[in-house]
Amino acid sequence: MSADEQRAGDRLDKWLWHARFYKTRGLATEAIQGGKVHLNGERVKPAHRVRVGDRLSLSIDGAVAEFEVLGIPERRGPAPEARGHYAETPQSAERRAFLAQQRRLADISRPRPEGRPDKHDRRRLMRLHRDQS
């Protein structure tokens, strides 16, 4: 592939990996094939070309985040370098912040045991689970 073709666009799975959305290229491919990634509002294949100005929708931790592609990274570099190749839309950032706050509030109100169950409590729990199924 020539340098001009490389600058024109990169494979979606490779771009997601280079931009550090996924730890491995294989995980990026699985997410794309699983429908968790949309490019310009459409479901695409992992080999689809990403270009500057495209809009990505990713399902991250159960929330949909939207990003605009600002650049095509040449390599998988450090995170600050990778962040320069995309920008999250303001609406997406607000929505994700709101959902994170909701999760924090739900976590605070969730009852928690004071400690680990002892032997007798564990047996009662196992009996309860066994009786329910």
* Domain coordinates in residue numbering, the chain: 3-110
Q: CA Rg, the chain, in Å? A: 21
How confident is the model at residue 8, as a pLDDT? 63
User: Which residue type does 28 have?
Assistant: A
Q: Which mean pLDDT values do the consecutive 10-residue runs of the chain (133 residues) have?
A: 56 95 95 94 94 93 91 93 94 93 89 88 93 86
How confident is the model at residue 111, as a pLDDT? 84
CATH architecture of 3-110: Roll (3.10)
How confident is the model at residue 133, as a pLDDT? 78
User: Which residue type does 23 have?
Assistant: K
**Smallest Cα–Cα separation from 89: which of 58, 110, 46, 61?**
58
How confident is the model at residue 7, as a pLDDT? 55
